[in-house]
């Protein structure tokens, strides 16, 4: 019994240390948990209950949420390092997920290349809908580029000053 209690406490400690949580409205959270170097789980929690989860079988570097459309339900941005069918080298990629019916995590856009070599991204919150700002290497220069949600995927909206 003592070994089981220690195992449960250690498991909880490891999961808690390997998790990032972002609350996007009262009682609604997104949690990214690292299971291994190449295995992550994104969970959607509503009022302390699991609403949905989505497993990534590749390295997740960063996640955030933003409001890319006008439905007041956030989209989830996930920067991953993986190969794709159309781009077979490992590279950083920005994926966008929607919270379908406000609960379920579903892919909205799984882009293979966005702006050259993706280094980082941020969200410009002073616009509605929000803009995604990417930090990337493009034509051998470091650039910050703005993107919004288009009809299919993300739409280029110009450069952001460095």
Q: Which residues of the chain have pLDDT under 50?
A: 5-16
- What pLDDT score was predicted for residue 9? 41
Q: Model-level pTM? A: 0.84
**In angstroms, how far is the first alpha carbon of the chain from the final one?**
58
- What pLDDT score was predicted for residue 84? 82
Rounded-to-5 percentages of helix, strand, coil across the chain: 10, 60, 30
């Amino acid at each position: 019994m003592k070994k089981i209690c220690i195992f449960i406490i250690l498991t909880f400690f490891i999961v808690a240390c390997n998790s990032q949580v972002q609350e996007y409205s009262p009682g609604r959270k997104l949690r990214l948990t690292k299971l291994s170097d190449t295995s992550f789980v994104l969970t959607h929690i509503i009022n302390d209950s699991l609403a949905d989860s989505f497993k990534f079988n590749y390295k997740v570097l960063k996640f955030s949420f933003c409001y890319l459309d006008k439905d007041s339900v956030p989209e989830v941005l996930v920067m991953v390092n993986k190969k794709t069918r159309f781009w077979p080298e490992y590279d950083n990629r920005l994926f966008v997920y929607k919270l379908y019916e406000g609960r379920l995590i579903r892919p909205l856009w799984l882009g293979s290349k966005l702006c050259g070599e993706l280094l980082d991204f941020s969200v410009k919150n002073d616009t509605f809908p929000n803009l995604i700002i990417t930090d990337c290497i493009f034509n051998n220069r470091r650039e910050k580029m703005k993107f919004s949600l288009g009809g299919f995927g993300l739409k280029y909206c110009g450069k952001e000053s460095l």
